[in-house]
A = this chain, B = another copy of it.
Amino acid sequence: MKILVQKFGGTSVATLERMQKVREKVCGALNHADKIVVVLSARDGETNALLRLAEQWSASPDKAECDLLVSTGEQVSIGLFAMLLKDCGLRARSLLAGQIPITTDDDFGCARILDINSAALLSFLNQYDVLVVAGFQGCAKDGRITTLGRGGSDTSAVALAAALGSVECEIYTDVDGVYTTDPNICSTARKMDRIAYNEMLEMASMGAKILHIRSVEFAQKYKVPVRVRSTFTDDPGTLVTQEDSTMEAVFVSGIAYDKDQARVTLHHLPDVPGVAAAVFGPLSAKGVLVDMIVQNTSLDGHTDITFTIPRKELKPTLAIMQEVAPKIGATEVLHDVNVAKVSAIGVGMRNHSGVAVRTFAALTKEGINILMISTSEIKITLLIREKYVELAVRILHDTFGLDADRPNRPCPA
């Protein structure tokens, strides 16, 4: 029995006409798969409308009640779509998370999936050809409705594919795949046929708009092949999958960037143990996501600590640092919002020295000053002045031969 999981986002189910398009996709897929599990999001704007309602009703809405409320968005989608399927004679039915169940912890608003009853799923698949499952929602052990957080429908789809034995999971969206970089700023950007899970994770700043990070982690953990493709074309899209040797033949597979950055520096503080904890402990407690961190080598027993954060976190971060600085003996708290991050990403980087050098050289040649550097096994990230970001993306895209007229990443033999 060949099973396929297909997930459609909010824009794909927003209107009757679009749902009819989705139905075409599902009917088409039944030509090459025996059974389809369709995962749907709430119709575009519905989740936000429900959240606005909750905020109107309460200054701090109870999280469990909020999940009960917000989960109605997906319930409406699956009811309507199942009607459409039944109308054309398909053996189909809707399934709420609690009817399978998809069991989660009780961390309302961002619950984690603990278990999916795959025996029940298979039994439903014996009775029906298409199951229409509500994305984004789960069910705590006591039967209360939970939600998985933003982008949770992607996670639902991948988890269902994993529960059914790593069947392929198609994530339909309004773009036709993952690109080597943002086509809006680099006209030579190329759609990739394949990308490794790790690369997709590192492409977060661009990829997160296409595929939710947690769903990629989930897919990687359970080895679920995920195909990102468009509801509105027949393009095969981009397959997110395990890396293999053909992928490693390419140094760099994509260039990412992120303008939502602010830089904070604690100046001239004593280089003694416990300083980093004193700085980042309070930030973590307030839920501020710190991204790059650089601490210079101590020269005179004093050092600087510089880190980046999302811009909207700048105000609370500075408030915390003004408190922390005197305690740890820093003389000054500096900040800068005119910065941006550019990254070169590729699983091939591991096997090829010199990627970092080529990156620095390419930017330096164009007179772009590098403010901070951070490296991981498969990523090099540079903080630069924001005004240079588009230029830097184009330079790096060209430097690593990612242009559209070059051959795409080879398929494995």
Interface residues of A in 64-103 (CB under 8 A from B): 64-66, 68-69, 71-72, 75-76, 78-80, 82-84, 86-87, 93-94, 96, 98-99
Contact partners of A62 in chain B: CB under 8 A? 82-83, 86-87
Q: How long is the Cα–Cα vector from A82 to B145 in the complex, in angstroms? A: 14
CB-CB under 8 A for A144 and B80, given A16-B57, A62-B86, A87-B58: no
Q: How long is the Cα–Cα vector from A59 to B88 in the complex, in angstroms? A: 11
List 12 other contacts, CB 8 Å, given A60-B87, A69-B76.
Answer: A16-B56, A54-B80, A57-B80, A58-B83, A58-B84, A62-B83, A62-B87, A65-B80, A65-B82, A65-B93, A68-B75, A98-B143
Q: How long is the Cα–Cα vector from A189 to B84 in the complex, in angstroms? A: 50
Interface of A is mostly: helix
Contact partners of A79 in chain B: CB under 8 A? 54, 65-66, 68-69, 72
Q: How long is the Cα–Cα vector from A99 to B16 in the complex, in angstroms? A: 31
Contact partners of A325 in chain B: CB under 8 A? none
Residues of A within 8 A of B (CB): 16, 19, 50, 53-54, 56-62, 64-66, 68-69, 71-72, 75-76, 78-80, 82-84, 86-87, 93-94, 96, 98-99, 143-145
Contact of A87 among B59, B72, B80, B83 (CB under 8 A): B59
Contact partners of A65 in chain B: CB under 8 A? 79-80, 82-83, 86, 93-94
Closest to A56 in B: B16
A75 touches B72 (CB 8 A): yes
Q: How long is the Cα–Cα vector from A59 to B33 in the complex, in angstroms? A: 29
A357 to chain B, nearest CB (A): 56
Contact partners of A58 in chain B: CB under 8 A? 83-84, 86-87
B76 touches A94 (CB 8 A): no
Each complex incorporates copies of this chain amounting to: 2
Contact of A72 among B66, B76, B98 (CB under 8 A): B76
Closest to A20 in B: B57
A99 touches B143 (CB 8 A): yes
Contact partners of A98 in chain B: CB under 8 A? 98, 143
A380 to chain B, nearest CB (A): 46
Closest to A101 in B: B143
Q: How long is the Cα–Cα vector from A76 to B78 in the complex, in angstroms? A: 17
Closest to A71 in B: B75
Closest to A142 in B: B99
Contact partners of A59 in chain B: CB under 8 A? 87
Contact partners of A19 in chain B: CB under 8 A? 57
CB-CB under 8 A for A69 and B61, given A56-B16, A75-B75, A143-B99: no
14 contacts between A and B (CB under 8 A): A53-B80, A54-B83, A57-B80, A58-B84, A58-B86, A62-B83, A65-B83, A65-B94, A66-B83, A68-B75, A68-B78, A68-B96, A69-B75, A69-B83
Q: How long is the Cα–Cα vector from A56 to B17 in the complex, in angstroms? A: 11
Closest to A145 in B: B96
A24 to chain B, nearest CB (A): 16
Contact of A57 among B60, B72, B78, B83 (CB under 8 A): B83
B50 touches A68 (CB 8 A): no
A208 to chain B, nearest CB (A): 28
Among A56, A80, A143, A145, which residue has the most Cβ atoms of chain B within 10 A? A80
A84 touches B99 (CB 8 A): no
- Minimum-distance CB pairs A-B, first 7: A69-B79, A72-B72, A68-B79, A65-B82, A58-B83, A62-B86, A65-B79
Q: How long is the Cα–Cα vector from A120 to B226 in the complex, in angstroms? A: 42
Q: How long is the Cα–Cα vector from A60 to B84 in the complex, in angstroms? A: 10
Q: How long is the Cα–Cα vector from A298 to B56 in the complex, in angstroms? A: 69
Contact partners of A54 in chain B: CB under 8 A? 79-80, 83
B75 touches A61 (CB 8 A): no
Q: How long is the Cα–Cα vector from A14 to B34 in the complex, in angstroms? A: 46
Q: How long is the Cα–Cα vector from A60 to B89 in the complex, in angstroms? A: 12
A157 to chain B, nearest CB (A): 20
Closest to A62 in B: B86
